[in-house]
């Protein structure tokens, strides 16, 4: 039993907050061997990151307090080491990479210096550290490694930054690498590449990898074993395939069931007529072409999914359609009238028909307004919709429609969870009785199980109220169960446009195929096939 | 707490809520009481005590405080001409508060409005407003005051205008900087999508977020303006005797500081207490206006 690389025994962590004591981690035990990848899977608030922080001694104490347990690393209990001994282990034997590499790289030093610094701190001579840094940067696949060492973090893309973080983490050849949501902020194709890199490096060095994620796909792609956490406790643990196929705990089953991309696809009828006809939209930002001749039709009461990676212009498209930005050329006919050339007075009336739900409800809801104020603002701006006397009744009705309780109306946004906030944002959009709702990554910031609920709500609204949706996402599986048509965008251009079945079952364009292949399936068996297909595609 | 979840519960009125929150914060309550007294003094003081504040009494020159032999008005002592300090402080409250409040309110309003405009309009308007602010800031404020007051003659109104103008850039720059950040926030765009007018966005969405910062600056400025006003009086271009302000009283008492400390001490104390009260009040207001912080006050109120 003692030859595990890392063993956590009965770890419990509490936090003392204004609202009382929070048991973030309760009696958690797991272990990790050399050359093995263990995934800790859980939604926000499950305690998965706190567990990892305990290993790295990153918990702020107070307010945090480790109440019980042991963290055995190579037979030594990390919780009872002196600070100095801990520092010796951190970075050299245990390394960590984070979700957002930009905030963990120092912006005022070039990356070569930062990678070498890790080694110098642990006693490597500078000349050797520099040559080692070059080797690492070459290994993690950064183009032009010599030049890259003298560049600063902001000069790299998100995927490259994560590669640099990995290079830095590997500098001291650690025995254990902890990766906290390493690919969550990355595009799907980049995510697949980074995970492959991690896997290769593990094969080379034989280190143990502890990966913390909320994404079943990531688990299926990389993990040998998985630990599922919920509300600070481990609810299930085992070999990845076993857990996926024979989940015993209801929470695990719920999580697996909530993974998108398994339901029946929509079969859009041909008889619908277009409400929005977009033709040849072009948008330039100071010499950079964000949108390059985008054209599509949107049918009444149907959903068009716009899928693309960062920089594809999908969010720009949303902003232009809602006139938050002006297009350089092109037309967008809404019921025969061009949105782009409309005078302000007409635009004001049309705003009622076109609404938007934003990515992050924490930011799109004014924190100083109560739910009632947020929703009723629509009628304050458009007084002809509803007389003031009926506001209360209508707010209550709308809240019920999106699955909230009317007695929540006097609360403020911070008193709700992420999923509830997005429901409030949807209720606000509905208050104007729109014909079209543009959802800009409306579910990307939400947990998987909440995602499924919000998508179900949106689909229900589409059916019952005949609202058309433009649903922007970076992730293909999310749109599979919800969209009628799918438009794939890359670098401001429409790459592929077709019904959901065409795009998913018979993608015509290489980019769409690559995007589909890069998507991670929660089923480990399917994912293994997919990985092979992807590698074949990359090799071709 | 039994209520029907299908009905939006009626909220207590804004006034009751703020009263409850004020009760929960004893310091803020004391501040409000003190400020009310100051305001009453400012309104009623000159009517009641003007005669006694001007009556010279050479036998009571620099009379020490806490001596009731010469009547209760002399409890705080008397100044160099034997005038009771108590009644002088009460009478001086009017000019002091008028100048300070006038200058602060005027500069805060103008500065905030211009700041909103500069932050929320096109680059040209914004440039014009900012360069104006630069001019005011780069010009020594005391020099400006000397010139303007020398030309226009010292009066309460002129004093307010001069002090206000020199303080406008503070509010303007703060507001503009915050507006630039806030207007990129998602909830402002959400309001735009709903068709909210610029005016509505500025007033309903941006201003409430900037407001606490402005309040804090304004309360700090209050003390600054009171002292600036006394500096001007000292130079002979501010309020002139026989009119009095707290600042003027301090500077008049300065030459007796070693022999009769109370001449400067009492008006100084009045300034300190007023500023302190305003600070406590603005601190309370910042919490009371912020929904994410408000529970601190509401919890306390419920417990007591």
pLDDT of residue A424: 92
Q: Which two tokens stand for residue A2?
A: 């003692």
Distance in Å, alpha carbon of A446 to nearest chain B alpha carbon: 17
Domain assignment of residue B16, yes or no: no
Q: Please give the order of strands across the beta sheet that includes A468-473.
A: A354-357, A436-440, A468-473, A303-308, A485-490, A493-499
* DSSP code of residue B8: P
Residues of B in contact with A354 (CB under 8 A): 193
- Say yes or no for a CB contact (<8 Å) between A358 and B205: no
pLDDT top residue among A26 and B142: A26
pLDDT of residue A425: 92
Residues of A in contact with B291 (CB under 8 A): 367-368, 370, 412, 414
Give percent of chain B with pLDDT exceeding 70. 92
Q: Residues B134-141: what's their mean pLDDT?
A: 85
Q: Residues A320-328: what's their mean pLDDT?
A: 88
pLDDT of residue B65: 74
Q: Residues A289-318: what's their mean pLDDT?
A: 88
Domain assignment of residue B115, yes or no: yes
Residues of A in contact with B200 (CB under 8 A): 380-381
A322 touches chain B (CB under 8 A): yes
- Residue B199: which domain range? 22-303
- Say yes or no for a CB contact (<8 Å) between A407 and B194: no
Domain assignment of residue B12, yes or no: no
- Say yes or no for a CB contact (<8 Å) between A358 and B189: yes
Domain assignment of residue B14, yes or no: no
Lowest mean pLDDT among A48-57, A360-369, B162-171: A48-57
pLDDT tens sequence across A416-469: 888 888 889 999 999 988 999 999 888 877 787 788 888 888 888 888 888 999
The pTM of this model reads 0.79
Residues of B in contact with A322 (CB under 8 A): 193
pLDDT tens sequence across A147-158: 888 888 888 887
Is B29 exposed, middle or buried, given 0-12, 13-18 or 19+ CB atoms closer than 10 A?
middle
Rounded Cα distance, A263 and B23, in Å: 57
The domain that holds B196 is classified in CATH as 1.10.3720.10
Rounded Cα distance, B102 and A298, in Å: 58
Helix (H) or strand (E) holding B284: helix B262-289
* DSSP code of residue B140: -
- Torsion sign (Cα): B285, B286, B291, B297: negative
pLDDT tens sequence across B193-228: 888 888 888 888 999 889 988 988 998 888 788 878
pLDDT of residue A1: 47
pLDDT tens sequence across B80-107: 777 778 888 888 888 888 888 999 999 9
pLDDT of residue A505: 87
Lowest mean pLDDT among A152-161, A384-393, B73-82: B73-82
pLDDT top residue among A71 and A101: A71
Report all structural domains of chain A as residue ranges with CATH numbers, in order of start.
36-46+90-258 (3.40.50.300), 274-507 (3.40.50.300)
A384 touches chain B (CB under 8 A): no
- Say yes or no for a CB contact (<8 Å) between B193 and A400: no
pLDDT tens sequence across B224-244: 888 788 778 777 777 777 788
pLDDT top residue among A157 and A292: A292
Domain assignment of residue B180, yes or no: yes
Q: Is pLDDT of A480 > 90?
A: no
Radius of gyration of chain A (CA): 25
Rounded Cα distance, A349 and B7, in Å: 31
- The number of domains in chain B is 1
Q: For all residues of chain A together, what is the average pLDDT? A: 85
Q: Residues A91-117: what's their mean pLDDT?
A: 84
A377 pLDDT band, cuts 50/70/90, is: very high
A539 pLDDT band, cuts 50/70/90, is: low
Q: Is pLDDT of A2 > 80?
A: no
Domain assignment of residue B292, yes or no: yes
Domain assignment of residue B78, yes or no: yes
B303 pLDDT band, cuts 50/70/90, is: very low
Domain assignment of residue B95, yes or no: yes
Helix (H) or strand (E) holding B90: helix B85-120
pLDDT tens sequence across A483-530: 899 999 988 899 999 888 888 888 889 888 888 888 788 888 888 888
Bin A231: left if φ > 0, else alpha if -120 < ψ < 50, else beta: left
pLDDT of residue A19: 64
Residues of A in contact with B289 (CB under 8 A): 368
Helix (H) or strand (E) holding B51: helix B26-54
């Amino acid at each position: 039993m003692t030859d595990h690389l890392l063993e956590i025994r009965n770890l419990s962590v509490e936090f003392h907050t204004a609202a009382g004591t929070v048991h973030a981690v309760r009696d958690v035990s797991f272990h990790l061997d050399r050359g093995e990848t263990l995934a800790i899977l859980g939604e926000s608030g499950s305690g998965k990151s706190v567990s990892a922080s305990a290993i790295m001694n990153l918990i702020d104490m107070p307010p945090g307090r480790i109440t019980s347990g042991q963290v055995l690393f190579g037979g030594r209990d990390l919780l009872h080491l002196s600070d100095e001994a801990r520092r010796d282990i951190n970075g050299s034997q245990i390394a960590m990479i984070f979700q957002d590499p930009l905030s963990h790289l120092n912006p005022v030093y070039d990356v070569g210096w930062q990678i070498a610094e890790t080694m110098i701190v642990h006693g490597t001579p500078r000349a050797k550290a520099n040559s080692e840094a070059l080797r690492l940067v070459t290994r993690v696949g950064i183009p032009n490694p010599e030049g890259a060492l003298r560049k600063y973090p902001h000069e790299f893309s998100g995927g490259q930054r994560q590669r640099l973080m990995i290079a830095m983490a590997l500098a001291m050849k650690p025995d254990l690498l902890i990766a906290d949501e390493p690919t969550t902020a990355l595009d799907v194709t980049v995510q697949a590449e980074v995970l492959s890199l991690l896997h290769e490096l593990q094969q080379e060095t034989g280190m143990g990898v502890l990966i913390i994620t909320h994404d079943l796909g990531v688990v299926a792609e990389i993990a040998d074993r998985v630990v599922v956490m919920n509300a600070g406790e481990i609810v299930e643990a085992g070999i990845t395939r076993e857990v996926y196929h024979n989940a015993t705990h209801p929470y695990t089953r719920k999580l697996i069931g909530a993974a998108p991309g398994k339901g029946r696809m929509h079969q859009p009828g041909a008889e619908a007529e277009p409400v929005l006809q977009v033709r040849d939209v072009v948008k330039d930002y100071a010499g950079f072409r964000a949108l390059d001749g985008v054209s599509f039709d949107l049918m009444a009461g149907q959903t068009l999914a716009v899928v693309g990676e960062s920089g594809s212009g999908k969010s720009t498209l949303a902003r232009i359609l809602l006139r938050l930005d002006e297009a350089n050329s092109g037309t967008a006919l809404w019921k025969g009238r061009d949105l782009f050339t409309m005078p302000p007075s007409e635009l004001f009336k049309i705003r009622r028909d076109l609404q938007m739900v934003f990515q992050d409800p924490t930011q799109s809801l004014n924190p100083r307004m109560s739910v009632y104020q947020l929703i009723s603002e629509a009628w304050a701006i458009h007084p002809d919709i509803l007389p003031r006397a009926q506001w209360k009744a209508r707010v209550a009705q709308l809240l019920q429609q999106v699955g909230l309780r009317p007695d929540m109306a006097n609360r403020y946004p911070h008193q709700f969870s992420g999923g509830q906030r997005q429901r409030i944002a949807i209720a606000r959009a509905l208050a104007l009785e729109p014909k079209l709702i543009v959802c800009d990554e409306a579910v990307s910031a939400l947990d998987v199980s909440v995602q499924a609920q919000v998508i179900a709500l949106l689909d229900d609204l589409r059916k019952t109220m005949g609202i058309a949706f433009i649903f922007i996402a970076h992730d293909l599986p999310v749109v599979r169960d919800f969209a009628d048509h799918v438009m794939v965008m890359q670098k401001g251009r429409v790459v592929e446009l077709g019904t959901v079945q065409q795009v998913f079952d018979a993608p015509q364009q290489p980019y769409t195929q690559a995007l589909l292949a890069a998507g991670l399936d929660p089923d480990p068996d399917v994912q293994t096939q997919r990985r092979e297909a992807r590698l074949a595609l990359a090799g071709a | 707490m039994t209520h029907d979840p299908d009905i939006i519960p009626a909220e207590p009125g804004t006034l009751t809520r703020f009263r409850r929150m004020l009760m929960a914060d004893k310091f803020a309550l004391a501040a409000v009481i003190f400020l009310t007294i100051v305001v009453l003094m400012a309104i009623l003081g000159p009517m009641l005590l003007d005669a006694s504040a001007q009556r010279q009494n050479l036998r009571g020159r620099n009379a020490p405080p806490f001596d009731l032999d010469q009547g209760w008005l002399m409890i705080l002592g008397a100044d160099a001409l034997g005038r009771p300090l108590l009644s002088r402080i009460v009478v001086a409250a009017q000019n002091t508060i008028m100048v300070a409040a006038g200058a602060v309110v005027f500069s805060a309003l103008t500065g905030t409005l211009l700041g909103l405009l500069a932050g929320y309009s096109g680059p040209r308007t914004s440039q014009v407003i900012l360069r104006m602010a630069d001019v005011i800031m780069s010009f020594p404020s005391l020099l400006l005051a000397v010139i303007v007051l020398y030309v226009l003659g010292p009066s309460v109104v002129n004093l307010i205008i001069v002090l206000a103008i020199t303080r406008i850039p503070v509010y303007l720059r703060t507001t503009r900087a915050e507006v630039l950040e806030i207007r990129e926030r998602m909830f402002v765009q959400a309001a735009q999508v709903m068709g909210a007018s610029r005016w509505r966005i500025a007033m309903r969405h941006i201003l409430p977020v900037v407001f606490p910062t402005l309040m804090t600056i304004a309360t700090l400025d209050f003390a600054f303006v009171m002292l600036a006003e006394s500096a001007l009086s000292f130079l002979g271009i501010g309020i002139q005797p026989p009119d009095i302000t707290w600042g003027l009283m301090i500077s008049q008492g300065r030459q007796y500081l070693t022999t009769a400390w109370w001449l400067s001490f009492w008006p100084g104390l009045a300034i300190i207490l007023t500023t302190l009260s305003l600070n406590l009040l603005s601190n309370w207001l910042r919490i009371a206006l912020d929904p994410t912080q408000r529970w601190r006050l509401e919890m306390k109120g419920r417990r007591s």
